[in-house]
């Protein structure tokens, strides 16, 4: 299978690192579908890529709307009959998130509903299509903030970043990676958690030290893993990340 035969869905792809992941996959010759809640922003993203000579398409996709998720899966099935790559990039933060003693429970609930339950729902909807691929790939965009080891290490730079909602959502996303990789053992589908690093995006308030282009490279690498690619890993720019 050549790259041009591969079909990828990138969630939350209308901006930031999701857009850059979509762009880099398209440059590699993959047929990319941009998933986004806002149809207007999705069209703008597709137009931006078209201006660079990259043909992509979009599909309405809201992680908090089961009807939207089912419709996206049906649309991909009808047009392509399969899916080779799923990049679960979409996620949110909330200004009311914070330390366990101060975080608003409603904010934590919103974050978990989107980042964990929504991602699980999308993955479940796309799995039948991924099973039709000879080299299915699932990349879950995680964060070092989701590492229990690093959160509990006073010498870690992540130790003071106490965002109970966001950090817990990424830890739960890692659990999805571990369990799904084990469930799919023996199939062509591999599943990995990838922390892109501290990237300058809207989600980080543009306070990161990496550009979106730099941050997208590792998720793209894992999206394009060969037949002998590892599964069930948690990796970041500096290598394997402790769970």
- Alpha-carbon dihedral sign for residues 221, 130, 16, 149: negative
Pairing status of strand 190-194 against strand 57-60? unpaired
Q: Is 170 a catalytic residue?
A: yes
* Active-site annotation holds for 82: no
Active-site residue, from 82, 158, 159, 170: 170
Q: Could you give the residue ranges of the DSSP H alpha helices within the chain?
A: 16-27, 39-50, 66-80, 105-112, 119-130, 148-151, 164-183, 212-223
Confirm if 202 and 15 have CB atoms less than 8 A apart.
yes
Pair of tokens at residue 173: 């996303």
Which residues are within 8 A (CB) of 89 and not within 5 positions of it... i.e. 6 or more apart?
10, 11, 12, 13, 17, 18, 21, 141, 219
**Of residues 15, 158, 166, 198, which has the active-site annotation?**
166
Active site residues: 166, 170
């Amino acid at each position: 299978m050549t790259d041009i035969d591969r079909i990828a869905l990138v969630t939350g792809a209308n901006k930031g690192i999701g857009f850059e992941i979509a762009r880099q996959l398209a440059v590699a010759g993959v047929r990319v579908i941009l998933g986004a809640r806002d149809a207007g922003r999705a069209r703008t993203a597709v137009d931006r890529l078209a201006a660079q000579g990259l043909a992509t398409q979009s599909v309405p996709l809201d992680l908090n709307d089961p009807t939207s998720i089912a419709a996206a899966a049906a649309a991909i099935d009808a047009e392509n009959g399969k899916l080779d790559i799923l990049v679960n990039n979409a996620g949110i933060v909330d200004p009311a998130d914070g330390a366990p003693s101060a975080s608003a429970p409603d904010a934590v609930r919103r974050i978990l509903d989107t980042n964990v339950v929504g991602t699980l729902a999308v993955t479940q909807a796309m799995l039948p299509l991924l099973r039709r691929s000879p080299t299915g790939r699932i990349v879950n965009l995680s964060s070092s903030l989701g590492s229990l080891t690093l959160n509990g290490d006073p010498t870690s730079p992540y130790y003071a970043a106490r965002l109970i909602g966001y950090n817990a959502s990424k830890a739960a996303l890692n659990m999805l990676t571990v369990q799904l990789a084990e469930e799919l053992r023996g199939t062509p589908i591999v599943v990995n958690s990838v922390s892109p690093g501290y990237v300058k995006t809207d989600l980080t308030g543009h306070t990161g030290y990496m550009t979106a282009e730099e941050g997208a490279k590792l998720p793209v690498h894992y999206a394009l893993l060969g037949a002998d690619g590892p599964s069930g890993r948690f990796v970041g720019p500096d290598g394997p990340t402790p769970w």
